[in-house]
Amino acid sequence: MEKKALDEYMEALWYLAEENNLSLERLQDLVDVTFNDDIIRQLTEQQLIQLHGDKIELTPQGRDQAKQIVRCHRLAERLLADVLGMQLKEMEQGACEFEHILAAEIVDSICTLLGHPSECPHGLKIPEGKCCRQARETVTSAIVPLSRVPVGERVKVCYINTKSNSRIHKLCHFGIMPGSYIKVHQKSPSFVLQHENTQIALEQDITNEIFVFYPEEKKEVGLPLRRHWRFRRRGY
């Protein structure tokens, strides 16, 4: 049986586990490929699942495998959306291909690059990996809050994580949005940045909500673990 089809089923089973609704009936509704009893039998023979009537139970081995597939998919979505700026449809197609081919070590490298995000662009939890548990927020973490960028550095805005409509409107008014370039002009006594020919003063807490590309090569940085889709409002 093709590995891709097996992976699709394992991914679907993880989603159902998140719903607390692991059943054959619900699985048939969810899988993208045609439901196939042979795949269920093969997953059972590989000791990835156990059947109890209509109910399905992921074995410890099956749970680990499903977790890795979903982790890869959701991290790929973050990479394609935040770094490459792909739209939702393109991002989903690309992430589906990534999940079948990336080794765990590469997935951890992507996770570290992005600063160990906790959610995918759809707001779903990204399963933790070994790199997250070890808090590897070091030289390869390239996405940082604007507040961490030194004076004089020019950086590219990656995304903005805020629950305030007024802040979004203010930032957009000044042209500060994903993809724009800004320069830190000063940080004390007030935080001032420059966008094109305009200098803009910002409250300190706003600078913690603007995330930018800034790979620091010589020192460790502590990064927040929470990540959201562009202009995603917390609490909604």
CATH number at residue 198: 2.30.30.90
Report pLDDT digits (tens) over 105-134: 788 888 877 878 888 888 899 999 888 877
Predicted pLDDT at 41: 92
Supply the range of the domain harboring residue 158.
143-213
In a domain, 89, yes or no: no
In a domain, 123, yes or no: no
**Closest to 83 (Cα-Cα) out of 117, 47, 50, 132:** 117
In a domain, 201, yes or no: yes
The total domain count for the chain is 2
Report pLDDT digits (tens) over 201-214: 999 899 998 988 87
Percent of the chain with pLDDT over 70: 79
Pairwise CA distance, residues 70 & 12, whole Å: 9
H-only helix segments in the chain: 3-19, 24-30, 37-45, 60-78, 88-101, 104-113, 130-133, 165-173, 204-207
Reported as type and span, the H/E element at residue 210 is strand 210-213
In a domain, 233, yes or no: no
In a domain, 168, yes or no: yes
Predicted pLDDT at 33: 55
Among 53-62, 160-169, 220-229, where is mean pLDDT lowest? Answer: 220-229
Query: Mean pLDDT across the chain, nearest whole number?
Result: 80
Predicted pLDDT at 225: 36
In a domain, 185, yes or no: yes
Predicted pLDDT at 105: 77
- What lies within 8 Å, CB to CB, of 100 at 6+ separation is 3, 4, 7
Predicted pLDDT at 104: 75
Whether the CB-CB separation of 125 and 118 falls below 8 Å is answered with yes
Q: Edge-to-edge strands of the sheet including 198-202?
A: 143-145, 210-213, 154-160, 181-186, 191-195, 198-202
Predicted pLDDT at 136: 46
In a domain, 194, yes or no: yes
**What is the maximal distance between C-alpha atoms in the chain?**
68
Global model pTM greater than 0.85: no
Of the two residues 95 and 224, the one the predictor is more confident about is 95
In a domain, 231, yes or no: no
Among 55-69, 176-190, 212-226, where is mean pLDDT lowest? Answer: 212-226
